[in-house]
Amino acid sequence: MALVNEMIADLNALNESGDRCPPEILQKTWHDDMIWYGPTGIGATYTIPRYQEQHQYPFRTQLKDKVFNGHIARFAEGNYAGFFGWANLTNTPTGGFLGLPGNDTRADMRVVDIYRRDGNKLAENWVFIDLLHWLSMQGLDVLKRIRDTNPGQ
């Protein structure tokens, strides 16, 4: 749990500074060949540079006014640790995130993160973000849209 808490503290300090995350920050707690498994719409990445290009930088630059609301629980057992919050992050999309236009509607992200440690660094991260809820808060009800395009099913 200490390793995950160290990584969270590093990222929180970056959020407060507004700085772009240099790879060296992640290399303190992550293996260079780490694997990040994101939700549908974001996808998975391999290695710190690919993670930063495909997820971290779009997340940092295309969502503004991020407020960390806290975690309901953090837990660890053996080589695994995790946390979740309902909702643990509130933000406003500026445009481009998930290929969508920006707007001024604040929305909550409900997130679950599970990490696998290998030695003294994190090796894998499974991330579940309730994107249907986040999109619905912005007025895009994906499930309704699907029902409307397939009436009677």
Any idea what the CATH number is for the domain that residue 141 is in? Answer: 3.10.450.50
Looking at the DSSP assignment, which residues form a beta bridge with residue 36?
A: 45, 125
Domain coverage including residue 51 = 2-149
Cα 133 to Cα 135: distance, rounded to the nearest angstrom: 5
Print burial letters for 57-96: b (CB count within 10 Å at least 16), e (below 16).
ebbbebbeeeeeeebeeeebeeeebbbbbebbbbbbbeee
The count of structural domains within the chain is: 1
Question: Which pLDDT score, from 0 to 100, does residue 14 have?
Answer: 80
Question: Which pLDDT score, from 0 to 100, does residue 19 have?
Answer: 72
Per-residue pLDDT at 106 exceeds 80: yes
Per-residue pLDDT at 32 exceeds 80: yes
Percent of the chain with pLDDT over 90: 73
Q: For residue 49, give both structure tokens.
A: 């540079």
pLDDT: which is higher, 152 or 54: 54
Per-residue pLDDT at 18 exceeds 70: no
Helix (H, G, I), strand (E, B) or coil at 44: strand
Question: Which pLDDT score, from 0 to 100, does residue 68 have?
Answer: 87
